[in-house]
Amino acid sequence: MIVQFQVIGLYVGLATVGVFAIWYTCPSFLGIDLSADGHSIIPFEKLTTWGECHTWEGFSVNSFTAGSRLIKFEDPCDYFTTGKVKAMTLSLSVLVSIEMFNSLNALSEDTSLLVMQPWVNPYLLVAMSVSFGLHFLILYVPFLSKIFGIVPLSLNEWALVLIVSLPVILIDEFFKFFGRLMSASEQRARSKKLKMA
């Protein structure tokens, strides 16, 4: 179980940071167009050395749209400070989604979601719906998104969030399957000992 929690925790961290980097560096991801908002795509090495931006020759970036808001840059290096609002929103949305999907994993320690369906715990589904509802509220109500410093996401961006978030279920399903195999093996060994005694 400790290994399972470590692997899932590692995935949560990688997914949350990874989606931030994906927005900056990939015009598309697994067939999802991420360039529709008009933001500039930069190489990963520029993202990792963004603090040296003022030393880059000829560096320029495009303005881009976030919901109904146009994000402009007087200084191209602002792309990595004020311009990170969309990447931060994607990271937050991935974190919220992963935690909601991971709560489904907690329905059972070793039974697959294919066997123990999510609706066995309607309170969990209500809690998930409320959590997603509140997240959508702060994303799509303009004065709330301004307070929280985030911006609305497009359908393509939500597709990216889901693609990056859903593997947490598959990772947990793998560990549950492995746990069931180990339990069956231990039971066979115990039965064999009892027969021999």
Q: Which of 95, 120, 101, 119 is nearest to 173 (CA)?
A: 101
Helix (H) or strand (E) holding 66: strand 64-66
**Strand pairing class (32-33; 28-29):** antiparallel
Domain residue limits, the chain: 2-196
Q: What is the CA radius of gyration of the chain?
A: 22
User: Residue 174, Cα to own-chain centre: how many angstroms?
Assistant: 19
CATH for 2-196, among 3.90.79.10, 1.20.1110.10, 2.40.50.140, 1.20.5.50?
A: 1.20.1110.10
pTM of this prediction exceeds 0.85: yes
Which pLDDT belongs to residue 165?
Answer: 96
User: What span, in angstroms and rounded, lies between the C-alpha atoms of 166 and 145?
Assistant: 25
User: What span, in angstroms and rounded, lies between the C-alpha atoms of 44 and 27?
Assistant: 12
pLDDT digit string (tens) for the chain, length 197 residues: 788 889 999 999 999 999 999 999 999 999 899 988 999 999 999 999 999 999 998 889 999 988 778 889 999 999 999 899 999 999 999 999 999 999 988 887 777 777 878 888 899 999 999 999 999 999 999 999 989 999 999 999 999 999 999 999 999 989 888 877 877 777 776 667 766 66
Amino acid at 146: K
User: What span, in angstroms and rounded, lies between the C-alpha atoms of 96 and 162?
Assistant: 11
Which pLDDT belongs to residue 178?
Answer: 84
Burial 87-113 (b: 16+ CB within 10 A, else e): bebbbbbbbbbbebbbbbbeeeeeeeb
90 touches 157 (CB < 8 A): yes
